[in-house]
Amino acid sequence: MSPRIGFGFDIHRLVPGRPLLLCGVRFDHPLGLLGHSDADAPTHALMDALLGAAALGDIGHLFPDTDPKWEGADSIRLLEAVVALLREHGWTVGNADVTILAEAPKIAPRVPEMRRRLAAALGVPDDRVSVKATTMERLGPIGAREGIAAQAAALLEPLPPPCN
C-alpha cells in the first residue's frame, strides 16, 4: 500500500449561547458554533480529510446528525474513533495540516494547545500536526462573523505488518 492523501472542509454558523470549540480547545468568545455535535469545524474537516484519504466515506455517514447518540458529542472523541477505524483498515496518520477561516477570535495564541489536542487524538507527535488560521479580510459571511470554516489535508501511511 502507498501513502494516501485526503482533503476535508467544514463550516458552522456562529450563534449566541453556544461554547466555541476549535480543535478541542475552548475559546472565551461571545458566540459559539451551532451544530448537532459540539460543532468543532476544524476537527470535523480533519476527520473528513482522514476518511477521504482512506476512501471510508465522511463524518456525516459515520456520525449522522439524525442520531441522538451524537448530540453534543465531543469531536475529539469522534476523531479518536476515526483513528481507530483507520487502524482497523491498516492505516496510520503521517501528518495533518488544518486551516481555520475566522474573522474572530484570535487563533494564533492557542495554536500550540490545538496542535497538542489534535496530535494526542491522532496518536502522533505534535510536530506532525499543523494548525493555521486566516481571516477572510471581512469578505463574505465568514468575514461578517456569521460562521467559521476550516480546511484540512491529511496523509495516511500504511501500518507496518505485525511482527510475530
Residues that bind Mg ion (CB under 5 A): 10, 44
Residues 12 and 26: their CA atoms lie apart, in Å, by 16
Strands 129-134 and 91-101: parallel
Is 44 or 117 the residue whose CB approaches Mg ion more closely? 44
CB of 61 to Mg ion, least distance (A): 13
> Is residue 60 exposed (0-12), middle (13-18) or buried (19+ Cβ within 10 Å)?
exposed
Is 44 or 110 the residue whose CB approaches Mg ion more closely? 44
CB of 36 to Mg ion, least distance (A): 8
CA-to-CA separations, 56 to 5, 49, 125, in angstroms, rounded: 13, 10, 24
Q: Which three cell numbers stand for residue 102?
A: 475566522
Is 10 or 103 the residue whose CB approaches Mg ion more closely? 10
CB of 66 to Mg ion, least distance (A): 14
Is 12 or 110 the residue whose CB approaches Mg ion more closely? 12
State the Rg of the chain over Cα.
16
Among all residues, whose Cβ is closest to Mg ion? 44
CB of 75 to Mg ion, least distance (A): 8
